Structures are given as structure tokens and as C-alpha cells.
Chains A and B, each alone.
Chain A
């Protein structure tokens, strides 16, 4: 589904990603872990097309298409979804209108008819159960005045509505208490399917207790320095990132 080859990317002339290669197949969950500043969020944002990030070398193919050549909105319509680390507030923009607009953009792109308001609402009610979201949040402006947990749940609700092929969760666990973490993780698990893939970017292992990955990759200094299965995450939890850093230095 996603194939990244030797990806290099910079922000303000500073190279952050220094040659990432990664292959993600449908039905898989990959965890990207690593210490602060290793490039985890950069990777997530580069894949989504954030304009501040510039790809200098390498390629990323999504279902065989050149992902990096697409505008951010086209990537979204193709089925790439980024759950933001810091969801943005949109004052005055109604949450339901926003969700429906987003869904209809994707449907139009696929030459499907727009969904009616009624059909959308009944679908939305079901999706809201996935993240145990109260109805009141729907009539409010997008993320405005939402608590940290509500914002993250709103991200997963959007994911549930848009049904992306590839979902990238950028530190979705940050700032969540244990209950919110469980709700968000359960939501994600319900959306796991054999024809979609998920990349979980996280600093801590604890999220992976809930969303169990098929593969774990450790990112350090802009490179994937170690890959393994879920046991790797536990090992990291035990030994800390210094262990990987030391190993990398030794290897070099």
C-alpha cells in the first residue's frame, strides 16, 4: 500500500529525515517509535504533505501512485489520513458541516454522489459510538474549546467517518489520561481491517498495549535504526532509547 524509499526531508534547510525506507501492506499496523527530535512527526507530516516540509531526495508510493507529487487534499481524498498531534481549532466552523464537507470531497473525488444530510447524520451517530463521543460536540465549532482528550477523540471520529486506507496517528496518545487513551485506542482498534493500514507514531510504549502493532520501527536521527515486532517496543520500554542510540553509534 505504502512504499517509502530513501526519503530525505528538510525544514528550513535543516535536514530532518536522512533516508527512510519503509513498506506498509494492507492489514498491517506499524509503530514508529523514537526519542524526541528523531523525526517521527516529520515523517508523518511529510507523508500528509505539510507545506513547511521539503522532500529533497527519495520517493513515496501510495498504491503505486507518486504520493509526493499530490497536493495535500488529493492525498487525503486518495485515502491518506493524518490524526494530528495538535488538532487545530476552527472557530465558528461547525463540526458536523466540516465532517460532511470532508466526506463529500472524498466522494466527489471517487465520482460518488454526495451523501444527503439525513444519511450522513445517521451514519455519524453510529461512528460516534466508536469513540464514545457525546452529541454535544457535534454542534460545536471544530475543536474550539475542546479538552485535549476531546480533540483526540474528534480526530479518531474523523478517521471513522472518512474510512481512510492509510491512517497515520501522530502521537495520538500525548496528553491523554489513561481513560481517554483507552477510548481512543479502542476506537482505532475497531477501525482495523484487512484492507486498511495504520502507522502509529508514538514516543511511549503504553499506547501499544492497546493498539498492538505488527511491526515496530525505531527512528533515530532521521533514520530507521531498528525494526522488529511488538517485543521491540517492550524492550525499548525496559532499556530506554539510549540503548538504541549506543547501538547506532557502535554500528557507525
Chain B
């Protein structure tokens, strides 16, 4: 047995580091979904009547839809009546500082390696912590509000700024959009709302750490970010979930709206429980993320580092409506063991001189399957639209799969669309070269993979890039073969 194989053996036996369950009393509804459950969710959250109606319309529409099966993933049928649609921590504190928070909760964050305290101190990040479904800690709010920036939970936004929410909610991802988006529209429990008014540059990264905690609770987050004319905001989303044997459904919806000259940067590091090495357990991550570049010269940039979940199905997209608007998608998707990922983006060019860039880096190890699926559509009126796509796949071992499904549709002769794709393996000669310089096989793979992902990592804010590198190293464990 070679040196590298031995390393595999050792690493393969290491367990998911974030597997723990926090004992916090939760207030949850019984399993199942019907109109009454939706009304109850809406009532518990004291929502305006239009919101309840919207949820019900979404539910009725959802009933007419069929679960999509076009993606390159396989899983057992989901019983939607076997899911708890609402779970909130029973003690529902309103906190000004972390000191007032449930010590269990604080401990949970510490175990995640991303304590709020540390975050606050290090980066000046305002953290809106979503623990299961209801926000329990919102910080830096005051400083933001001086600038007219709203950053709060979706529940709070519905109480305090219902008209703003009503104006934009569902305007990018309508409740009829797709099966999971409809389901989310009907039952979403909470999420984040960020609004940056005209001409304001948000002075800090806005950050939310999502975490699925209660057993068998589907998490249905709803996030809405609006940047008015000339505004700028950078938003960070990070996720970790504890070990469960049953698969958990996560169907979030994220909507971004950028008006004239506005810019939104949305970064995700997703590290949900991927299931064990035989594919037992893990999160089903079926997410709809879409941004609308409504105004001229607006820009939306998605950066994602996806290392977790048993199944990932997500396509953060940009609708480039405004002339000269820019859409970007930078992605690292790493799958190991039995994980499956079908992820990519859609760039819809509508305005003139619109530009989009897609950089996708897939890494497959173990017996996993990793697919890039992307659509670039240049509509008739999109004169001088340009797209550049680069999709790279890296294979570790010989039992995994990498697939690329690019869909290009150009309806305007002035369009310039470029697509490049590569597939490579980590060579034994690369490993030996690094070994010969005193670097262990495990570290060699990390160096090579990090090098491969560099183009994407450099898009992330500093602290996040460090975390992404660390998470990637963790999911690489047991992959060297």
C-alpha cells in the first residue's frame, strides 16, 4: 500500500466535525402540510393579511406542480407530509448583545468555529444569526440604521417594513417559479432582509449564519436583498448542520434586486452535513437564488463555495435587464464520498452591452457526482452582450464523476459568447513533486486543490476565504487516493 493510500485510510475514518445537537427547547408544529399549517405559521409570526394570502396562493400553486427530476442527481422520493414546517426556539429573546443569548446557543456557535464574538471583533461583521427558523441575535443594527440601511430578519421586516417587503418579495422569484420555490413561498419560516438606500455604500459585510438544528425540520429560508440606486452591499451566508440519519430538506429562496448603478455581492460558504461515507443522512439542498440587475450599470456577483449537503441543486442566476449591467458567478463545488451536486448558473441577457462571467470549479472525490449546469441566454434586444464561461473539473480518484451541461442560446448576432471547459486529475507526479519538497500527501492535495480554486477564493472577503480554505481541506479528508 502506498503512502497516499495509507493517508486515505486514516482520513476516511475521521468524522464530520460539526456533528452535535444543541438542546434548546423548540416550539414546533406537527408534521405535515395543509392550509391550516400555513395559516398557523403566518399567525404565529403575526403577519399582515396579504402575506398569508400570498403564502396560500403559493401553496395552491405548489399542489399543481410536480417535483422536478431533470437534474443529474438520484434520491428516494421525499414525503412532504413527513416534514415539520415550523420550528422556533421556545425562549425567544430579543437581544442587544451576545451576553444575553442562551449559553447553549453561544456554545453551539463556538463549536461551529465561528463564534459571533470573534466575528464581531475580527471583521466588524454584523451577524444576523438564524438558528433554525427564528432570528435570535442581531447585532450592529444601530450603526447600520444611522445610514438608513435595514438589516434584519424577514419576520421583523414584515412587522416593521411591510410595504418594502411587499414591493420586492417574489418580484425576482415569483411563487410560481418552480416546485421548491413555490413550497418555500408557502411555508418560509424566516430569513434575512437587507435594504440599502440610494447612494449608500454599506460599510461592513452583512453576514448570516444559517444552521439547521431541530431533527426532521425542513428549513425554508427566504432572503431578500435590495440595493437602491448607486448603493453597494456585500452579503455573506455561511451554513453548517449537525449530523442526522434522516435526510433533511432545505429549500431556500434568495432574491436580489439591484437598481441603477447598484452593486450586490453575495457570497456563500455551504458546509451542511453531507451524509456519511455510505451516503446515509445528509441535507438535500434545493435552493433557488436569483438576482435582478434591474437598473443601468448595475452589478450582481455570486460567489459560492459548496462543500456540504448530500445533494446540492442550485443555480444562482442573474437577470441582466439594465443596459450595461454585469452578472458574475464564481463557484467551487466539492463533492466527496456519496455526495451529489448539480449546480451552476443562468445568465439572462436582456439589456444592451450586458456582460456576464462564469467561473466554475468542480472537484469530485470518492464515489461522488458533480455536475455543472449553466445557461447563457442572449435575448433579441441584448445588443453587444458578452459572456465568458470557464468550467473546470478536477477528479480525485477514479470512482467519481464530473459532468458539464452548458446551454447557450443566442438570439442576437452581435453577441459574443465564449465557453471553455477542462477536466483534469491530480497527478501522482504532482503529489510526488510536493512530497520530494517535504510536503505530506495530505498537504500536497490541499495545496493543489486550493491552487485550483484560487480564482474563486480571491472573490471572497478575506475572513471568508480563510474559512472556505479550511472547509475545503475538511471535505478533502479521506479523498486522497
> Which residue of B has the minimal Cβ distance to A78?
B438
> Which residue of B has the minimal Cβ distance to A143?
B433
Q: Do the beta carbons of B433 and A51 come within 8 Å of each other?
A: no
- Contact A88:B427 (CB < 8 A) given known A51-B2, A101-B447: yes
> Which residue of A has the minimal Cβ distance to B432?
A50
Q: Do the beta carbons of B438 and A102 come within 8 Å of each other?
A: yes
Residue numbers in A under 8 Å from B450 (CB-CB): 92-93
Q: Do the beta carbons of A93 and B448 come within 8 Å of each other?
A: yes
- Contact A102:B437 (CB < 8 A) given known A51-B3, A141-B451: yes
> Which residue of B has the minimal Cβ distance to A104?
B438
> Which residue of B has the minimal Cβ distance to A51?
B2
Q: Do the beta carbons of A82 and B436 come within 8 Å of each other?
A: yes
> Which residue of A has the minimal Cβ distance to B437?
A102
Q: Do the beta carbons of B439 and A92 come within 8 Å of each other?
A: no
> Which residue of B has the minimal Cβ distance to A89?
B430
Stretch at the interface among A6-14, A69-77, A173-181: A69-77
Q: Do the beta carbons of B447 and A98 come within 8 Å of each other?
A: yes
Q: Do the beta carbons of B452 and A92 come within 8 Å of each other?
A: yes
B contact residues, total (Cβ < 8 Å): 26
> Which residue of A has the minimal Cβ distance to B455?
A92
Q: Do the beta carbons of A90 and B2 come within 8 Å of each other?
A: no
Q: Which chain B residues in 432-481 approach chain A with CB under 8 Å?
A: 432-441, 443, 447-448, 450-455
Assembly CA distance A72 to B439 (angstroms): 9
- B263 vs chain A, min Cβ distance (A): 27
Assembly CA distance A105 to B446 (angstroms): 15
Q: Does B428 contact A (CB under 8 A)?
A: yes
Q: Do the beta carbons of A73 and B433 come within 8 Å of each other?
A: no
Q: Do the beta carbons of B451 and A72 come within 8 Å of each other?
A: no
Q: Does B14 contact A (CB under 8 A)?
A: no
- A132-156 CB contact bits vs B (8 Å, 1 = yes)? 0000000001000000000000000
Q: Does B429 contact A (CB under 8 A)?
A: yes
Assembly CA distance A87 to B451 (angstroms): 17
Assembly CA distance A245 to B453 (angstroms): 51
Residue numbers in A under 8 Å from B437 (CB-CB): 76, 98, 101-102, 105, 158, 162
Residue numbers in A under 8 Å from B453 (CB-CB): 92
Q: Do the beta carbons of A93 and B451 come within 8 Å of each other?
A: yes
Point out the residue from A88, A91, A106 that lies within 8 Å of B438, measured CB to CB. A106
> Which residue of A has the minimal Cβ distance to B441?
A73
- A77-116 CB contact bits vs B (8 Å, 1 = yes)? 1000110100110111110011001100110010000000
- A169 vs chain B, min Cβ distance (A): 13
- Contact A73:B430 (CB < 8 A) given known A90-B447, A90-B451, A92-B454: no
Of B3, B436, B438, B453, the most chain A CB neighbours within 10 A belong to: B438
Residue numbers in A under 8 Å from B435 (CB-CB): 49, 71-73, 76
- A40-62 CB contact bits vs B (8 Å, 1 = yes)? 00000000111110000000000
Residue numbers in B under 8 Å from A109 (CB-CB): 438
Assembly CA distance A158 to B436 (angstroms): 11
- B390 vs chain A, min Cβ distance (A): 13
- A201 vs chain B, min Cβ distance (A): 15
- Contact A51:B428 (CB < 8 A) given known A72-B3, A105-B439: yes
Assembly CA distance A98 to B450 (angstroms): 12
Q: Do the beta carbons of A105 and B3 come within 8 Å of each other?
A: no
Assembly CA distance A71 to B428 (angstroms): 15
Residue numbers in B under 8 Å from A92 (CB-CB): 448, 450-455
Residue numbers in B under 8 Å from A98 (CB-CB): 434, 437, 447
- B29 vs chain A, min Cβ distance (A): 48
- Contact A72:B447 (CB < 8 A) given known A51-B2, A88-B429, A91-B452: no
Residue numbers in A under 8 Å from B438 (CB-CB): 73, 76-77, 102, 105-106, 109, 162
Assembly CA distance A81 to B429 (angstroms): 16
Residue numbers in B under 8 Å from A75 (CB-CB): 436
> Which residue of B has the minimal Cβ distance to A91?
B451
> Which residue of A has the minimal Cβ distance to B6?
A71
> Which residue of A has the minimal Cβ distance to B361?
A92
- Contact A51:B448 (CB < 8 A) given known A73-B440, A158-B437: no
- B397-438 CB contact bits vs A (8 Å, 1 = yes)? 000000000000000000000000000000111101111111
Residue numbers in A under 8 Å from B427 (CB-CB): 88
Residue numbers in B under 8 Å from A48 (CB-CB): 436
Q: Do the beta carbons of B433 and A93 come within 8 Å of each other?
A: no
> Which residue of A has the minimal Cβ distance to B435?
A72
Residue numbers in A under 8 Å from B440 (CB-CB): 71, 73, 105
Residue numbers in A under 8 Å from B428 (CB-CB): 51-52
Assembly CA distance A94 to B455 (angstroms): 12
Residue numbers in A under 8 Å from B433 (CB-CB): 84, 87-88, 90
Q: Which chain A residues in 20-66 approach chain B with CB under 8 Å?
A: 48-52
> Which residue of B has the minimal Cβ distance to A48?
B436
> Which residue of A has the minimal Cβ distance to B7?
A71
- A199-221 CB contact bits vs B (8 Å, 1 = yes)? 00000000000000000000000
- Contact A72:B443 (CB < 8 A) given known A51-B3, A141-B451: no
- A78 vs chain B, min Cβ distance (A): 9
Residue numbers in A under 8 Å from B452 (CB-CB): 91-92
Q: Do the beta carbons of A88 and B430 come within 8 Å of each other?
A: yes
Assembly CA distance A139 to B435 (angstroms): 22
Residue numbers in B under 8 Å from A71 (CB-CB): 3, 435, 440
Assembly CA distance A109 to B3 (angstroms): 18
5 residue pairs from A and B, CB less than 8 Å apart: A76-B436, A87-B433, A92-B453, A105-B443, A109-B438
**Residues of A in contact with B (beta carbons under 8 Å apart):** 48-52, 71-73, 75-77, 81-82, 84, 87-88, 90-94, 97-98, 101-102, 105-106, 109, 141, 158, 162
9 closest cross-chain pairs (CB), A and B: A92-B451, A93-B451, A105-B438, A72-B435, A76-B438, A102-B437, A88-B433, A92-B454, A77-B438
